[in-house]
């Protein structure tokens, strides 16, 4: 099921996501917020935003795989960042995103929050549409 990614001419064209994603499929997959934890539920990368970012996107990939969904079928992600500073955090988030999604650019939103679970700096959830 190919996704139709649209960047309308009268909106800015983002570098790292798509303004509108149109999906047609028969199965929706909703992935809960993935936290920077290992398989045993232990925090990975205490105080290290880059390590935690890579861990949450790796966990997102594992969650998608469990539903027989591929990263290319993700239509939207929401990224929650504790104490978000755009210039500091966004380049790190983008590196972690690319590791999972490659050139695929689902719609997204980045939300700065006051805090997440203790010592967690980032969390990511997703929606995918598959046939």
Q: Is the pLDDT of residue 60 over 80?
A: yes
49 pLDDT band, cuts 50/70/90, is very high
Of 101, 103, 122, 102, the closest CA to residue 111 belongs to 122
pLDDT band, residue 1 (cuts 50/70/90): low
Q: Tell me the average pLDDT across 95-115.
A: 96
| CATH class, range 27-130 | alpha beta
Give the per-residue pLDDT at 13: 92
Q: Would you say residue 9 has pLDDT above 80?
A: yes
**Which pTM value belongs to this model?**
0.89
CB-based contacts of 53: which residues, under 8 Å, 6+ apart? 36, 92, 93, 95, 96, 121, 122
């Amino acid at each position: 099921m190919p996704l139709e990614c649209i960047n309308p001419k009268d909106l800015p064209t983002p570098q790292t996501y798509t303004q509108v994603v149109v999906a047609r499929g028969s199965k929706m997959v909703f992935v809960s917020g993935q936290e920077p934890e290992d398989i045993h539920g232990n925090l990975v990368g205490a105080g290290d935003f880059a390590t935690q970012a890579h861990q949450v996107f790796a966990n997102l990939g594992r969650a998608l795989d469990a539903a027989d969904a591929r990263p290319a079928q993700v239509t939207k992600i929401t990224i929650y960042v504790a104490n978000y500073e755009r210039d500091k955090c966004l380049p790190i988030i983008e590196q972690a995103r690319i590791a999972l999604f490659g050139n695929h650019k689902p719609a997204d939103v980045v939300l700065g929050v006051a805090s997440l679970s203790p010592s967690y700096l980032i969390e990511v959830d997703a929606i995918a549409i598959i046939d």
